[in-house]
Amino acid sequence: MRKYYSLLVALIVTLSAAAQSDKITVSGSVTDQSDGSTLPGLSIVEKGTTNGITTDSDGRYSLTVAQNATLVFTYIGYTPQEVSVNNRTSIDIAMIADATLLQDVIVVGYGTQEKSQITGAIASINNEEFKDQPVTNLASSIQGRVSGLNVTTPSGTPGAGLLINIRGNNSPLYVVDGIPMISQSNSSLSTSFDTEGNVVGSGQNVSSISDINPNDIESMEILKDASAASIYGARAANGVILITTKRGKTGKPTINFNAYYGVQSIARPIDFMGSEEFVGLVEEARQNDLDKYNADPLYFGAGFDPTVLTDPLANFDLSTGVDTDWLDEVTRSAAISNYEFSLGGGTDKTKYYSSFSLFNQEGIIIENYYKRLNYRLNLDQQVNDKLTVGTSAFVSYSKNRRSFNDNTYTGIITNIVGSSPLMPVYDANGNYTSFEDYQASWLSDNPVKSAKEIRAITTSTRFLGTVFAEYALVSNLKLRSSFSTDVTYTTDNQFKSPITADAEAVGGEAFEGNYRNTTWLNENILTYTKAMGENNLTLLGGFTLQKSVTDRNSITGQGFPAGSLELISSAANIVKATGDQTLWSLMSFLGRVNYSLKDKYLLTATVRADGSSRFSADNRFGYFPSASVAWRLSQEDFLQDNELISDLKLRLSYGLTGDQEIGDFQSISFYSPTRYYGFAGVRLRNIADPSLTWQENKMLNVGIDYELLAGKISGSFEFFKSNKSKLLSQDAIPGTTGFPTITRNSGEIENTGFEWSVNAKVMDRGDFQWNLGFNFTTVNNEIKNLTNDGILVSAYSDLAPTHILKIGESVSSFWGVKYLGVDPASGDPIYQDLDEDGDVDSDDSQIIGKAFPDAFGGLTNTFKYKKFDLSIFARYSFGNDVYNLIRPIYESLGYSNDDVSLFSVYANNATTVRDRWKQPGDKTDYPRASFINANFYENSSQFVEDGSFVRIQNVNLGYTLSSWKIFSSVRAYFEVQNLYVFSKYKGFDPEVSSTGGANEFTAGIDYGAYPQARTFLIGFNFNFK
């Protein structure tokens, strides 16, 4: 009907225009600048007149106006635009969503608030900024985009867990549509073993937060200070990330189909030596040693037999012509694709959003892949004036063919870094070559065999759903109750074929693990709002109950028949079976007051009381209060109508948050089941501290939000100081108690920092727009107190200590011997003999670096020209060191790893050692090649590197067609992820974490992590009419 009316008006206007010779008819289409979708019902008025029209259902208009008229385009939620006609008859307009962000509604804990009313430190990031990226984990899509948030990608493995650090604190709480979500790795498949098959590290981490499809997310809010976070009380000490998924909006259904396809390849390969150079290096090493021997026959001790330096090495010559590039053999160009269909819309009363997506990523290491299927349905129904009910639900299924032993001993990558190029992948009969037959004793198996014959698959099925009802008891008092469940079922299947070194002796080994978790949550929130003149008051009170039950079981079998029988029932022996259950519950009361006076003076006070089953009855309840005030200076008279400052707000907050993530039942000394000689028994599990209680984080935050030049420049400054005390730690106690550690509250860590973010509309000239976003964060991390000052910790349970916890130092301080360089005369490495006892050993260790960056952040540039758009996003980190513990292997300089027999070559080297010392006088950091001496010291600053980097994370070039055929808009784009990394780091990637997860005490170790990929992709967004 409206369409005809519009046409009628247009006709009349046109007719009347025809009567006046100085009038012309202007027509065109109006679209949304961000996605190119058409905007029906938008109002267009000739300035200074009542002459106007609205756009039709295709977003088109036609209006007769004076030749020199100015058209005013207005639409709710968009910045009005004025355009001079200048005799043009066709004017297409792209509308920009409201420039002034202050009216934006921001999600806060248990509610929403207008941005102008916020008193805490909250960063909000919108879908526009992270959609369509080829990532599995939503956190990687916000890497570098928010100040104070440092997201590290420790592994390039698809579906890998990330290291999320907010203001120096690892592992924030994720809250998805109001549900605090379990985000740790649920897989019981360990990927870090030593040569005996014992678990030595947490290895590759699989994040269950990857279950969420990033494109289903409408916005993410990062609650950084205590004021914003303490409403989540006992789980908020490390910050909170609120994730809000898309919901339907009133209006015509929007139907979208998005697809991308891309190719990934290794971004920063290490250049390893070929056969000729490798043989040359080892022979040079032997010659160097022979020279030493000839000069001084006692140089290698009495009884040294120099023939080991002259006899030909077994299987170590170039006659075979084999020159295998192992990195090339185990990596590949890998496809990545995503297909996604979504549907949203609704009437005044019923709104719906539903989506389905299929994500498929091959790993850049052969055999490895990650597939995920997501389905979501969000519904809202207004039952009557008082009652609204709704639901949010998603189901996801993922299947991950794991890469065995990522980032640790005996892994595929750790193997290839030392593999001999003289060794072919397959022998003449097409069988895998036996690594024992070729020189390079570092190997634990033929890497291609490991990749193919160790099959590990983790699948995860997850359901997360909420039903809620919101009822207005009286007009300004609302009750919202919800009931949510989070159900996860994860399975692990690993089969080590009998031909692998790992399972050869036992005839093959299979592991099957199951993880089931059911968590339910009931929340009941009352909200009262009252406006009294210049006073605005909002009161919120709530009560929540949550309980989580986890069952785990696993079974290991050995001895498998030949062929394809790989399931546990084919095993000759069941060698291990486990089954256990753990559970926790949490009961919480929460309250919040928001008060504003004259819209200038704002006050927020919150308190939460959490009772947790994890602590004994006496220490069960923790109280987490916070308060914050803000002053909107720009509302004061002296800043009214200031042309420079359009908005200015000062914020101050202080509060307390907590952490209970220590595992269940840690406050009780237990006997656990055990066995001996066929008898069942019980054995002490731990020594417990019954006074175990919450970790506390007190945080002070001072912030300034600014908006200059009518929104052209906006951003904020933040200064914070947080003191984490009563740290939940595995604290060292005297071993005479029977246990090396106790779980107790111990220590204090202080993080102080400064953040700055700015968004600027650098240029906006008709067809061309340039926006810039920049953020910068610096955090100083210092241990203030410890029960045991100077305790050493190791990233792997069988490695020498790699880190130290020391008062006055940063956590994640590296521990090792200091490398002083190469003696130019002899070519030998020099290490600092700190205790001056004549030996260089671990007694000479000192702090030699730290994993924590001094500063990090990101820079986004978006450009728009006509129908083209381009965004370039870079992020950076400075001052972070990496302890590259795998590098000694591939820079072992011809070493034999054997001070007695000297028959074997240790490992191939990277071409970086071409800079090695060769003759007296050479000034270099690389010592001389030596067969007998290890001219490297693993735990030393020789292998501590500057991990600073600038990464061109994402470049996206798009072209948008509006209203084409059956589509209201179509956008095609070309994208490069991880285009280039500017870094001096010698490993695959400066972003590392051997422990794969959140252990900040052992951060910054590289032990052959899965390399990062560079991805080129093309994609399409179709919006159906």
Separation CA 210–CA 189 (nearest Å): 17
Q: How far is the CB of 574 from another protein (least distance, A)?
A: 8
Site residues for another protein, 32-51, by CB under 8 A, read: none
Q: Which two tokens stand for residue 297?
A: 């026959």
Nearest CA to 388 among 335, 326, 467? 467
Cβ 464 to another protein shortest distance, Å: 20
Q: Does 618 bind another protein (CB under 8 A)?
A: no
**Residue nearer to another protein on the CB measure, 349 or 576:** 576
Name the residue nearer to another protein (CB basis): 83 or 817: 817
- Using rule CB under 8 A, residue 147 touches another protein: no
CB-wise, 625 or 801, nearer to another protein? 801
b/e map 856-885, b = 16+ CB within 10 Å = bbbbbbbbbeebebbbbbbbbbeebbbbbb
* Identity of residue 937: Y
Integer-rounded Cα Rg, in Å, for the chain is 32
Nearer to another protein, 87 or 901 (CB): 901
| Residue number with CB closer to another protein (469 or 957) | 469
Q: For residue 302, state whether it binds another protein (rule: CB under 8 A).
A: no
Q: Determine which helix (DSSP H) or strand (DSSP E) holds 289, and give its type and residue range.
A: helix 275-295
Task: Find the binder of another protein among 678, 766, 838, 921 (CB under 8 A).
Answer: 678
d(CA 832, CA 679): 53
Which candidate, 448, 326, 331, places its Cα nearest to that of 909? 326
Residue in this structure with the two tokens 């040359």, named with its chain if needed: 280
Is there binding between residue 904 and another protein (CB under 8 A)? Answer: yes
Given the complex with another protein, which of 263 and 893 has the nearer CB atom? 893
Residue ranges in 705-734 that form contacts with another protein under rule CB under 8 A: 732-734
Where in 736-795 is the site for another protein (CB under 8 A)? Answer: 736-740, 742, 744, 788-792, 794
Q: Provide the pairing of β-strand 1005-1006 with 881-884.
A: parallel
Minimum Å distance from CB 631 to another protein?
37
Of these, 1, 4, 76, 196, which contacts another protein (CB under 8 A)? Answer: 196
Instruction: Answer yes or no whether residue 349 interacts with another protein by CB under 8 A.
Output: no
The answer to the question of residue 576 lying near another protein (CB under 8 A) is: yes
Q: How far is the CB of 332 from another protein (least distance, A)?
A: 27
CA distance 57 to 52: 16
Residue 544 CB, nearest approach to another protein (Å): 9
Instruction: By CB under 8 A, tell whether 676 contacts another protein.
Output: yes
663 binds another protein (CB under 8 A): no
Residue 619 binding another protein, by CB under 8 A: no
Shortest CB 679 distance to another protein, Å: 5
> Is position 441 an interface residue for another protein (rule: CB under 8 A)?
yes
Q: Are 965 and 1023 in contact (CB under 8 A)?
A: no
Residue 559 binds to another protein (criterion: CB under 8 A):
yes
Binding mask 466-485 for another protein (x = CB under 8 A): ---x-x-x-----x-x----
Binding to another protein, residues 938-957 (CB under 8 A): 938-939
Does residue 568 interact with another protein by CB under 8 A?
A: no
3-state secondary structure of 666: coil
Q: Whose Cβ is closer to another protein: residue 52's or residue 747's?
A: 747
Contact 53, 65 (CB under 8 A): no
Smallest gap from Cβ 638 to another protein, in A, equals 48
By rule CB under 8 A, what string of x and - marks binding of each residue 50-89 to another protein? ----------------------------------------
Considering only residues 112, 250, 522, 826, which one is a binding residue for another protein as defined by CB under 8 A?
Answer: 522
The verdict on 898 binding another protein (CB under 8 A) reads yes
In the complex, the smallest distance separating the C-beta of residue 559 from another protein, rounded to whole angstroms, is 7
For 851, residues 6+ apart whose C-beta sits below 8 A from its C-beta are 812, 814, 880, 881, 882, 883, 947, 1003, 1004
431 forms part of the interface with another protein (CB under 8 A): no
Are 439 and 905 within 8 A, CB to CB? Answer: yes
Residue number, 364 or 440, with CB nearest to another protein: 440
Q: How many CB atoms lie within 10 A of CB 165?
A: 26
Residue 797 contacts another protein per CB under 8 A: yes
In the bound state with another protein, the residue whose beta carbon lies nearer, of 655 and 888, is 888
Which contiguous run of DSSP H or E holds residue 294? helix 275-295
Question: Which range of residues in 159-167, 272-280, 436-444, 875-883 is near another protein by CB under 8 A?
Answer: 436-444
Structure-block tokens of residue 960: 């948008």
Q: Is 623 in the site for another protein (CB under 8 A)?
A: no
**DSSP structure class, residue 808:** T
Closer by beta carbon to another protein, 270 or else 889: 889
Q: Is 593 in the site for another protein (CB under 8 A)?
A: no
Q: How far is the CB of 260 from another protein (least distance, A)?
A: 42
What DSSP letter does each residue of 45-72 carry, written as one string? EETTSS-EEE--TTSEEEEEEETT-EEE
> What is the nearest approach in angstroms of another protein to the Cβ of residue 392?
17
543 contributes a contact to another protein by CB under 8 A: yes
Give the number of other CB atoms < 10 A from CB of residue 763. 12
| Closest approach of another protein to the CB of residue 473, in Å | 8
Taking CB under 8 A as the binding criterion, the range among 127-135, 569-577, 850-858, 994-1002 that sits at the site for another protein is 569-577
842 lines the binding site for another protein (CB under 8 A): yes
Q: How far apart are the first and last CA of the chain?
A: 18
670 binds another protein (CB under 8 A): yes
Backbone φ and ψ of 189, nearest 5°: -85, 110
Can residue 573 be called a binding residue for another protein (CB under 8 A)? yes
Among 182, 799, 1009, 1017, binds another protein (CB under 8 A): 799
Instruction: Evaluate whether 61 touches 30 at the Cβ level (below 8 Å).
Output: yes
Buried b (16+ CB within 10 A) or exposed e, 519-532: bbbebebbbeeeee
Q: CB count, 10 Å around CB of 457? A: 15
- Per CB under 8 A, the list member of 587, 593, 609, 629 interacting with another protein is 587
Q: Under rule CB under 8 A, which residues in 351-370 are in contact with another protein?
A: none
User: Which CB atom, from 160 or from 886, has the smaller least distance to another protein?
Assistant: 886
Of the candidates 82, 114, 77, 83, the residue with the CA atom closest to the CA atom of residue 96: 77
Taking the least distance from each CB to another protein, the nearer of 732 and 981 is 732
At 343, list the tokens. 């549907």
Residue 57 backbone phi and psi in degrees, to 5:
-65, -15
Q: Which pairing describes strands 163-166 and 169-170: parallel, antiparallel, or unpaired? A: antiparallel
What are the C-alpha distances in Å from 67 to residues 72, 522, 574, 596, 956? Answer: 15, 63, 88, 49, 39
834 near another protein, judged by CB under 8 A:
no
Long-range interactions of 345-348: CB distance < 8 A, separation 24+: 345/248, 345/249, 345/250, 345/251, 345/252, 345/253, 345/254, 346/248, 346/249, 346/250, 346/251, 346/380, 347/250, 348/250, 348/382
User: Which residues ranging from 274 to 293 are in contact with another protein (CB under 8 A)?
Assistant: none
Q: Does 271 bind another protein (CB under 8 A)?
A: no
Applying the rule CB under 8 A, the residues between 379 and 398 that interact with another protein are 383, 387
Query: How far from 610 is each of 234, 615, 652, 936, CA to CA, in Å?
Result: 6, 11, 25, 52
CA geometry: angle at 495 spanning 494 and 500, to 5°? 130
Residues forming beta bridges with residue 622, ordered by sequence position: 610
Among 265, 434, 553, 570, binds another protein (CB under 8 A): 434
Tell me how many residues contact another protein (CB under 8 A). 112
Q: Confirm or reject binding of residue 409 to another protein (CB under 8 A).
A: yes
Nearer to another protein, 57 or 613 (CB): 613
